[in-house]
Every structure is written in structure tokens, then in C-alpha cells.
Structure 1
Amino acid sequence: MMVFTTHCSKSRWPSWLAWLLAVLLCVTAACTVRAEGSSSPVPDIKLERNDEGVWLSTTLKFELPGVVEDALLKGIPVHFVADVDVFRDRWYWFNRKVSSVQRRFRLAYHPLTRRWRLNVTEGEASDSEQGLTLNQNFENLQDAMNAAQRFSHWRIVDASHLEAGAKHWVEFRFRLDVAQLPRPLQIGTLGQSDWQISMTAGKVLPLESAQ
């Protein structure tokens, strides 16, 4: 009688494959924690298109963390930045950026008058200092934040930059610009989630102009 014996051997994955799987698991876990820890919902952006261009409207929904409000009450201005990029889809290469606009907000509290001041500068992202500036005063922080969070009929691209019949994609980004804080405070915000206010939204631009 012949006896067939099968030797069981422990298969070992190549070390580089095990390392790659470990990295992927870490990245996935980090993304999950970030998504669950985010208190700012994805903005719902509305796009309107006609023969002159495209306009964007949205209302952001987020609350200022206590540490940010405390900094404002101590007389430290806080800056926010909104960017919008418009891309044209290209099947043979990366999407081509056809327009980029930016809106900057400077929010400050004046203890002597107990009023809030919001400066809004608008223009091309590469030349925002040459854009239009709007100054507004408010009696309370909530009114000032409502003005900073509301985007109504913001022109983001001229019709001449859009190719007829082509697919275009609009990307909206909003963030707290910690680079504008005083240097000592910038260092103190490193790794502090309360200072990481950021949100992004994207939407496909309608092919047809609104009638």
C-alpha cells in the first residue's frame, strides 16, 4: 500500500507586500478617522450658467471653535480663504484649468467699539490684492460669520473661457488661513484640530446655458 504524504508549509508573503498592506491599512484608518471627526458638512453648491458666464451660490454651515473665538476677542484677526477652480475634462490628458478665482475674508473684533469688522477681497487667485474690497461692520459675531459663510451669485468664470459642448468641473474650497496668524500663534496651532477649518465641494457644470 502506498501512502501519500502532503507536507504543510507556512507560506510567507514577500516583505515588501506585507509592508504595502500595512501602509494601506494605516492610510484607510486615517481617512476614516478624519471623515468621522469632521464637524463641517460638505457644502451644497449651486451653479447657474448663461451666455455671460457661470455664478456660484452656497451657504456654509460650521461653528467657530472656542479657541478661534477667544483669539478674536483678544484682538487677533482671523482670515478665511475661498477658492474656486473650473476645469475642462480631457480624456487624453489631465483636466485643463480654465479659470481660478479667490475670495479672502479678514474678520476682526474691536474692543473699544465692541463691533466686528469683516473685510472681503475678491479677485483672481494669482492677483487677489488687486481685487475689489468690501468692508462691513456688525454688532455681533454671528452676523459677521453669516456674511462670511454666504456666497450669493459669485461669478466664477466668463463664458469665453468655456468650450461649447465640453464637460467642465467646478471645485470649491474654503479654509481658515492659519498662515496669516501671528508667528507665535502659528506654531501653537500645529497639530490642533480646532484650527483646521476646511471644506471642499465639486460639481459638474451644466452643458446647456440657463434660459
Structure 2
Amino acid sequence: MTAFTTRYWRNVLSLLLLAACLLPLSAQAAEGITSLRARAEVEDNALAISSRYQVVLPGNLQDAIQQGIPLTFRLTFELTHPRSSAYWLRLKHLFDPTATLSFKVMYYRLTNRYRVVIGGLANNYNTLAEAMAAVGSIAGWHVLDVSDWDEEDRKLLKGRIKLELDIGQLPRPFQLNALGAGDWGMESPWSHVAVGGGS
């Protein structure tokens, strides 16, 4: 019985040590930007994009926010189909088949709260995790007027979206650091969206 108990506790101890070794790896793997939802639909005669991202900042960016340095993330939409119609629309409506929306994250030490400014609207959050959950999350973002498109053409609309840290919005000394350090660059892969449901 004693031999069984000794082997049992050795196995438990080995599993705990393995879990302790893997924990830092899983924490590092969680850093970055992951797309949780990306959808396109036509509403109110416009192509509307809805998205949600999981943004986990590496330690140096968390420290930067705590020091009062605002971080700006850029959500970009690109129209991928139909390209010929996109060119015609650029001439007719002066529309560039790319649209962007900014999410600015700031920390206020005096109130110990975080603020996220999306376009011209701002919301306050108690924790960094809550604030980062708002970054890249949008519903019904109108990126293209399709009021003069017929129903069949609307169903062919396709595009792609991505979220990235806008290094150009950092204060100048941090821009120089960011250019030399790969861990400052954060961006999600492109997510494809289509009105007809395909990709």
C-alpha cells in the first residue's frame, strides 16, 4: 500500500511540475489579437460590419498604458469583391474601398479607470481587461453606401477586416522603440466577410 501511495504522489507531483512549466507558455501564446467574430450584412442601404476581438497585451504595452501612454488600435475594412464595381464607385462617390475606425485606450491614474474612445464616443472601464474587450468590438459599422445597388449585386459583396496597434499614433520616442522591437507590433490576421454568407 505504501509503494502505491508513493507512486501516486510522484505522478501527481510530476503532473503539477509539468503544468507549472506549461503555464508561462500558454500565457505567452494568449498574447496578441484574435478574431472572435466577423460578419457583414446590408442594413439601411449600407454594407455594415460587425466584429469582436480578443486583445491580450504583452507586459511592455500594459506597462506603457499604466504610465499614461495611450494606445490606438485601428480596425481596417477592405472591399475585395466586386473590384470592378469598387473602381466605378470610387469615381462616382469618391469612395476608397478601404475604411478604418480607431479605438484609443487610455488610463487615468487619478480615477484609476480606463477609457476607450471609439471614433467620437467614449466609455469608461474599471479594469484593463474590460477596456481591451471593447477594442475592435463594433456592431453595424457602415463602411459602404449600397443604396443604388440592386439586390443581386448586394449579395456578391465580400471584404476582409483586421485589427492592429497603430504604432504611428504612439509618442515619438515610443515609435522609435516600436520600430526596433518586434513585441510592440500587434495585429490580427485578416478575417474574410461576405454578405451572402460565403468567404
Counterpart of 1:183 in structure 2 is: 172
Unaligned runs of 5+ in 2: 1-28
1:90-113 Cα deviation digits (max 9, x unpaired): 5xx796366433211111111111
Looking at structure 1, the residues matched to 70 and 186 of structure 2 have their Cα atoms a distance apart, in angstroms, of 15
Counterpart of 2:62 in structure 1 is: 69
C-alpha spacing 1:139/1:120, structure 2 compared with 1 (3 Å): same
Bigger proportion of residues as helix: 2
Contact in 2 for aligned 1:51/1:159 (Cα 8 Å):
no
Structure 2 residue 106 is the aligned partner of structure 1 residue 108: yes
Deviation at 1:43, TM superposition (A): 5.1
Deviation at 1:159, TM superposition (A): 2.0
TM-score w.r.t. the length of structure 2 is: 0.68
Contact in 1 for aligned 2:75/2:101 (Cα 8 Å):
yes
Contact in 2 for aligned 1:86/1:157 (Cα 8 Å):
no
Is the deviation greater in 49-58 or in 135-144? 49-58
Contact in 1 for aligned 2:55/2:133 (Cα 8 Å):
no
Provide the secondary structure at the position in 2 that maps to 1:190: helix
2:122 pairs with one of 118, 123, 135: 135
1:149 pairs with one of 109, 126, 136: 136
Correspondence list, 1:51-62, <5 A = 52-62=45-55
Q: Which is greater in Rg? A: 1
Looking at structure 1, the residues matched to 66 and 55 of structure 2 have their Cα atoms a distance apart, in angstroms, of 19
* C-alpha RMSD over aligned residues: 2.9
Deviation at 1:155, TM superposition (A): 2.0
Opposite residue 115 of structure 1, the aligned amino acid is R
Looking at structure 2, the residues matched to 81 and 40 of structure 1 have their Cα atoms a distance apart, in angstroms, of 12
Provide the secondary structure at the position in 1 that maps to 2:135: helix
Counterpart of 1:31 in structure 2 is: none
Deviation at 1:177, TM superposition (A): 0.6
Contact in 2 for aligned 1:49/1:206 (Cα 8 Å):
no
Deviation at 1:89, TM superposition (A): 2.5
Provide the secondary structure at the position in 1 that maps to 2:65: helix
Opposite residue 192 of structure 2, the aligned amino acid is G
1:23-81 Cα deviation digits (max 9, x unpaired): xxxxxxxxxxxxx9x95445541122246222221211231111101000001111111
Looking at structure 2, the residues matched to 39 and 141 of structure 1 have their Cα atoms a distance apart, in angstroms, of 15
Structure 2 residue 186 is the aligned partner of structure 1 residue 197: yes
Contact in 1 for aligned 2:72/2:166 (Cα 8 Å):
yes
Contact in 2 for aligned 1:55/1:156 (Cα 8 Å):
yes
C-alpha spacing 1:169/1:154, structure 2 compared with 1 (3 Å): same
